[in-house]
Amino acid sequence: MSRTATVRAMIDPEKKERVAQILSRLGINHSEAINIFYSLIEEYQGIPFNIQLPSKEAANNNVSPEILGLLKESVNKNHRLGELLAK
């Protein structure tokens, strides 16, 4: 058997449960989902999707305040990380 490493993440318990139900319907668990995500990051040499804030129209019509807040926080963190990596 191959060696493994542990990845820890802090997740809202309610979100974790909602995602667990979705993953169950897909026939995978959290570890398998994380492994898929990591494989895609490796393949794309970065996040395998665009991380951007939605347009004002989309933000006003389709995106929950919670998601919009998380997107803004993620963009800010990634911007700071990009600045650090550029140095």
pLDDT tens, the chain, 87 aa long: 578 899 998 888 999 999 999 999 999 999 999 999 999 999 988 888 887 776 766 556 666 777 777 777 776 766 665 555 555
First to last CA, the chain: 40
What pLDDT is recorded for position 52?
A: 78
Specify whether the CB–CB gap between 24 and 30 falls below 8 A: no
What pLDDT is recorded for position 51?
A: 78
What pLDDT is recorded for position 85?
A: 53
What pLDDT is recorded for position 54?
A: 67
How far is residue 31's CA from residue 37's CA, in Å, rounded to a whole number? Answer: 10
pTM of the shown model: 0.59
The DSSP code sequence of 25-37 is: HHT--HHHHHHHH
Residue 40 neighbours by CB under 8 Å, 6+ apart: 48
What pLDDT is recorded for position 17?
A: 94
